[in-house]
Structure 1
Amino acid sequence: MWKDLPFDVLATIFSYLPPDSLARAGSACRHWHACARAYPLSLTPSSPNHHRHPPWFVALPVRNQTQSCYVHNPIQGNWHSLSLDFLPDPVRLVGSVGGLLLLRATNCTTLHLLVCNPFTRQYKQLPALNIPRSNPAVGVVAVHSTRCVPFSCFRVYVAGGMSEAPCGSGATYESTLEMYDSGDDTWRVAGSVPVEYAVRLTVWTPNDGVYSDGLLYWITSARAYTSMGYDIGSNTWSELRVPMADKLEFAALAWRSGKLTLVGGRCGGDAAGIWELGRGDNWEMVEKVPVEMGTKFVGEKESWAATKCAASEGGIYLYKDLGSAMIVWKQIGDQANSKWDWFWIEGCGAVGPKLLPNLHIKASLIQPNLARSSF
C-alpha cells in the first residue's frame, strides 16, 4: 500500500512524524527520502506541520568533556544522545532560538558564541565581539523577516561583563551593550549599561535573558532576587521587583502565552508557584506545583535550591540534573481546546543499554528541525 500512495499524501503523513522517526523513514529508499525532505519540520506558520510537534528538552553537561547533548522526545517519551563532535571547541549552552542552540566556547575566558543544529550537525561561529568581554549577560531574540529563512533570523544581545581597561590597568566592568544581527552577520554597540546594572549582570546573572513585549529581562541569582529589564527600542534600563524575593530558594524567568512569567520555590515540597506579569508591573500567581509532585521532586531535604528551569511558550520544565526526574507544566490539545496540565518525566539514566553518569546540566527547549539552515 505504501508504495502506491501519491507523493503529496505520503509527504503529508511523514510531516506528522517526530524527527527521529522521520530520519529513519527518509533512509528507507529514494522515494521516501524525497517525501521526508518535502516537509522538513519547518516552523513557519504556513508549513503543514506548524505547531504539530512539541519542543524537545535538550540538556548539555555544564562541564561538557564528552561533547554530547541529551534530548528527550516528548511524543515517544524516550531519551537520545547526540554527539557534538562536529563542533570545533568544547561548548556550554546559552539558550535556543527556533531550531538552533546558542552555545559559547569554553576554551577561552572571553565570550565567543556559535549556533548549531544538533540534529543536522550544522554550525556557525559568530564573529568576535567589538569589545572582548568575559561573563556578560546574554539574551537572544527571534526576528521575523522576509529576507531570512526559518531558524536563521535572530539577534543576540550581550550586556555587561568584564573587559580589559585601557593602558593595561586591569579589568573593569563593561558599561556597553552589543547586538548581533544574523541578517548581516555583524556585531554593533547598541547601547549603554548603567554601572550598577553592569555589576549585577556580570556577577549575579547566570541565566540567559527572556524577551517579552520589546524588553529583555534578566534575573539575578543573589537572594533577595531582583530583575532588570532592557527596553530595546528606547535603550533604557529599569528594575522589576520579584514576588517573595527574599523567601525564594530558586527563581527563574520564562515566557508563556505572550506574558513574562516567573517560576520560583521556597523551602517545602508544596511551596513552588508560577506568576505572570500583569499591568502596572504587578505579578499574579496563576499556578502552584501539585503538592505530591513537589514533595517527590525536592526529596527529604525539601529544598528547591538546586532547581533549574527551561521554558517555551507551550511548557515549563523544572529539573535538577541529568539523572533526576523533571516536573513539567505544559499545554496539551489543539489551540481551540487546549489546557495546561502537570506531568512527571523520569530523568536520563541511560540511553539504550548505555548507562550514563548523573551529570550537572543546563537545558533548553528546542523545536526539532531537519531542514538545512542558510548558514
Structure 2
Amino acid sequence: MWSNLPFDVLAKIFSFLSPDSFARARSACRNWHMCAETYPMTTSSTVLPQHHQAWFLALPTRNRGQHCYVHNPVTDNWHMLSFDFLPVPVRPVAAIGSLILVRPTNCTALQLALCNPFTRQFRYLPMLNISRTNPAVGVVTLDSGQLGPNPHFRVYVAGGMSEAPHGGAMYESKLEMYDSMNNTWRITGFVPMEFAVRLTVWTPNESVYSNGILYWMTSARAYSVMGFKIGANTWRGFSVPMADKLEFAALLCRNGGLTLAGGTSEGEACIWELTEGDRWGLIQTVPMEIGKKLLGGKSSWGNTKCVGSEGGICLYRELGSGMGVWREMKEKATWAWFWVEGCHFIGGKQVHNLPIKAVFLRPNLSPFAF
C-alpha cells in the first residue's frame, strides 16, 4: 500500500515528521526519495503541527568548529549537524521559528545573517546604515502563529560604538530597524545616552519581546532591565529581584509575559514573572534534585545559562552536563520539571564536553526564500 500512495498524499504524511524521522523516511526506498525530491516544499508544513516541539540547538562557544548539536525532545535523542556550509564562524543571536539569526565572528562591526541548519542555508542581511561595534540586538516576530520558512520579523539595533565625526569613537544614539518584508534597514528613532552606554557596555545580545516592548538586561551585578516600547518610541529601566545576589540571570518570555530566571549564592534558583507596576512575583523554585544535577557538586550558579521558548524554559551549563527543563504539559494544563541528560555519545562515538550557547528552534525542512 505505501509504495502505491500518490505523491501528494505521501508528501502530506511526510510533513508531520520531524527532520530526523524524515531523513530516515526519504532513505527507505527509491519511491519515497523521489517523493521527497518532487515535493520539497511539503516536507515540513508552513504552519507547524502542534506536536512539533521546539528543539534545543547548541553551538560551541570557544571551539567554533564546523558542527552544532541538537536535542530532539520527542525522541530524547541528540544529533550532530555539520556546519561546513557556513562561509564564516558564527554565534547565535536569536531563533526566529526555524531560522537562527547569527552574527559572524570574523569582524568587529556588526553584521547579521540567517541560517537554517537543517536545509543548510545561509544568507547575510544587508549592512546597517551605521557601522557599529558591540550594539544590543532585539528581535520581534510579527507572525508568531505561522513560523514557517519565511516568517515576517524585525530586528532592532541599539547602542554600540561608531566612528565620531572628527575621528575616534562615540556611543551611537541612533536606533535602526530591519524589516524582513522589504529587506532594508532604516533609522527609526534615538536612544537616550544613558541607555546607549548601558546597552553597549553591559548588555549581551539576548532580547525578549513581550506586549509591544523589547527588553534587555545588563550582564553585570547588580542586574537591571531596560525596556523599549516600540509604538511609543520610549525607554525605561527597572530593577530585578535580588539583583545584587544573583550569580546568573536571564530574561525569558512565558505565556506572552516577561519572565526572569536567576540563581543566588545561597544555592537556590528561582523564576519570577513581571506583574503590573514593574513588580516581580515568584512563580517557581528549581527543584533541589534538578539543581544538584545541574551544578554537579559545585556551589556556584555562575556558569549557568538559560534559554526559553513559549513552551519551555531550559537551564544548562555545558554540552555534557545535562539540562533542567521546565516544560508546559498541554494535556494536563500545567508545567513540570524534567531532567535531560547531556550529549556524551552520538552514533556510538564519544562527544567531548564543550562550552555552548543555545537557542530553541522549530525544525523546518522548507527552504527560506527571502
Give the TM-score band, short-chain normalised. over 0.9
User: Do residues 204 (structure 1) and 202 (structure 2) align?
Assistant: yes
SS class of match (1:275): strand
Instruction: Work out the CA distance in 2 between the residues paired with 1:87 and 1:166.
Output: 35
In the TM superposition, 1:84-99 aligns within 5 A as 84-99=83-98
In the TM superposition, 1:148-227 aligns within 5 A as 150-168=149-167, 170-227=168-225
TM-score where L is the length of structure 1: 0.92
CA RMSD of aligned residues (A): 2.2
Instruction: Work out the CA distance in 2 between the residues paired with 1:312 and 1:176.
Output: 30
User: Do residues 364 (structure 1) and 359 (structure 2) align?
Assistant: yes
Instruction: Work out the CA distance in 2 between the residues paired with 1:110 and 1:253.
Output: 25
TM-score where L is the length of structure 2: 0.93
> Does structure 2 conserve the Cα–Cα contact (< 8 Å) formed by 1:207 and 1:219?
no
| Deviation, structure 1 residue 24 | 2.0
| Change over 3 Å in CA distance of 1:331–1:65 after alignment to 2 | same
Name the amino acid aligned to 1:18: S
Task: Tell me the residue number matched to 2:276.
Answer: 279
In the TM superposition, 1:265-344 aligns within 5 A as 265-269=263-267, 271-334=268-331, 337-344=332-339
Instruction: Work out the CA distance in 2 between the residues paired with 1:41 and 1:226.
Output: 40
Which stretches in structure 1 are left out of the alignment for 5+ residues? none
> Does structure 2 conserve the Cα–Cα contact (< 8 Å) formed by 1:295 and 1:302?
no
| Deviation, structure 1 residue 92 | 1.0
Instruction: Work out the CA distance in 2 between the residues paired with 1:67 and 1:89.
Output: 10
| Deviation, structure 1 residue 7 | 5.3
Task: Tell me the residue number matched to 2:116.
Answer: 117
Instruction: Work out the CA distance in 2 between the residues paired with 1:353 and 1:172.
Output: 52
Name the amino acid aligned to 1:252: A
Post-superposition, which runs of at least 4 consecutive aligned residues in structure 1 deviate over 6 A? none
User: Do residues 144 (structure 1) and 143 (structure 2) align?
Assistant: yes
* 1:316-359 deviation per Cα after TM superposition (whole angstroms, max 9, x unaligned): 0101111211100011234xx43211111111223223323322
Task: Tell me the residue number matched to 2:344.
Answer: 349
Instruction: Work out the CA distance in 2 between the residues paired with 1:326 and 1:220.
Output: 24
| Change over 3 Å in CA distance of 1:102–1:38 after alignment to 2 | closer
Aligned length: 367
SS class of match (1:206): coil
SS class of match (1:199): helix
* 1:82-139 deviation per Cα after TM superposition (whole angstroms, max 9, x unaligned): 1111121111111110100011111111111100100001121011111111111111
Task: Tell me the residue number matched to 1:126.
Answer: 125
Which stretches in structure 2 are left out of the alignment for 5+ residues? none
> Does structure 1 conserve the Cα–Cα contact (< 8 Å) formed by 2:46 and 2:148?
no
Percent identity among equivalent residues?
60
Instruction: Work out the CA distance in 1 between the residues paired with 2:154 and 2:41.
Output: 28
SS class of match (1:364): strand
| Deviation, structure 1 residue 31 | 4.3
> Does structure 1 conserve the Cα–Cα contact (< 8 Å) formed by 2:149 and 2:366?
no
> Does structure 1 conserve the Cα–Cα contact (< 8 Å) formed by 2:15 and 2:45?
no
> Does structure 1 conserve the Cα–Cα contact (< 8 Å) formed by 2:131 and 2:162?
yes
